[in-house]
Amino acid sequence: MEFFKIRRDIPFMENALIFNVISFLTFAAAVFFLFSRGLHLSVEFTGGTVMEVSYSQPADVEKVRATVAGLGFADVQVQNFGTSRDVIIRLPAQKGVSSAQQSEKVLSSLKSQDATVTLRRTEFVGPQVGEELATDGLKALAMVVAGIMIYLAFRFEWKFAVAAIIANLHDVVIILGFFAFFQWEFSLAVLAAVLAVLGYSVNESVVIFDRIRENFRRYRKMNTVQIIDNAITSTISRTIITHGSTQVMVLSMLLFGGATLHYFAMALTIGILFGIYSSVFVAAAIAMWLGIKREDLVKSSLAKKDEDPNDPNAGATV
C-alpha cells in the first residue's frame, strides 16, 4: 500500500556525514547528562511505600493525586488498580519517617476528603528490591541487544548487525538523555517503553536492509550509494503510513492518557521519532561506511552466475 510514489531517488547518503555528526553530538550530550545528572528513578528502583486504598464508588484519581501531593510528597504515583474503585499509591522514601507513619498520614488526609476510603494493604519496597529491579532491567536490555545482533547477522550480514545495533543504542541513549536532562521520572513503565523502542526501531532498519538486499540483486549497474538511496526512497510511503499511525496513537496517550501514562508515552514518542531518523541516517550510513557490497548479500547467486555452463565440473561437489 502506497499513498504516493517518488519517481526520483532522494540522495540521502549525500548528506549522511552531516547528519551523523549531528547524531554524534546529540549522543554525546545525552551521555553527558546521564553522567552529570543521572536518572530520576521511581519508587520501584529507589524504595518507598506502596499503599492500596479502596473507595465505595469510582475514585477520582486526579483528586487523590492532588491530596497526596499536598502533603509534601514529590513524584507521587497514583493510579487505578484492578477496578475504578481501587487506587494504588506509591510514595518515595523519606528520611526519619517510617512506612507506617507515611501511610497513616496519607490515609488520614484521604479520609478527610472521603470518609468511605479504606486501606487494603501497605508495603515497604526496600532499596535492595529496587537494586534487583535495576539489575534485571539492564539484563533484559542486554539480552534484547544480543538477540537483535544475532538475528540480523544470520538474516543479513554482520555489517548490517553492527550498523543496526549502533543505531538502536543511539535511540536508547538519547531517550535516557532526555529523561536525565529534564529529570523526568524513570519507572518500570518507561523501561518497558525503552525496550519496545528497541524492537520498533530495528523493525524499520530491517525493512530498509531487506530492500537494499533486493536492490543489489535487481540493479546490477547501481553502486552501493545509489542502491541505499533507492531503498530508502522506495520505502518512504510505507514509513509515513506505519510511523504516522503509530505516532498518532502514542500522542493520544501522551495528551489524554493522564499522569499514569505520561512518561511511558513520552519515551515512546521520542523513541519513534529518533527511530525513523536513525534507521535512515545512522544504520544505513554506517552499513555503507563498513563497506557493504553486493557480494556480501548475494554470494550464492553470483557464484552460480559466474560458473561456466560448458564446464562439466560446474556445480560438482567433492
Please, are residues 253 and 142 in contact by the beta-carbon 8 Å criterion? no
* Of residues 193 and 198, more confidently modeled: 193
The CATH fold assigned to 48-125 is Alpha-Beta Plaits (3.30.70)
**CATH superfamily of domain region 12-39+130-301:** Multidrug efflux transporter AcrB transmembrane domain (1.20.1640.10)
Q: Return the exposure string of 199-217: e unless at least 16 CB atoms fall within 10 Å of the residue's CB, then b.
A: ebbbebbbbbbebbbbbbe
* Of residues 316 and 121, more confidently modeled: 121
pLDDT over 80 (residue 75): no
C-alpha cell at 211: 530492500
Q: Where are the domains of the chain?
A: 12-39+130-301, 48-125
Provide the CA 240 distance to its chain's centre, in angstroms.
19
Alpha carbons 308 and 102: distance in angstroms, whole number? 83
Confidence of residue 129 (pLDDT cuts 50, 70, 90): low
Position 301 scores a pLDDT of 45
A 10 A CB-CB count for 26 gives: 16
pLDDT over 70 (residue 211): yes
**Average pLDDT of the segment spanning 209-218:** 88
**Average pLDDT of the segment spanning 103-132:** 84
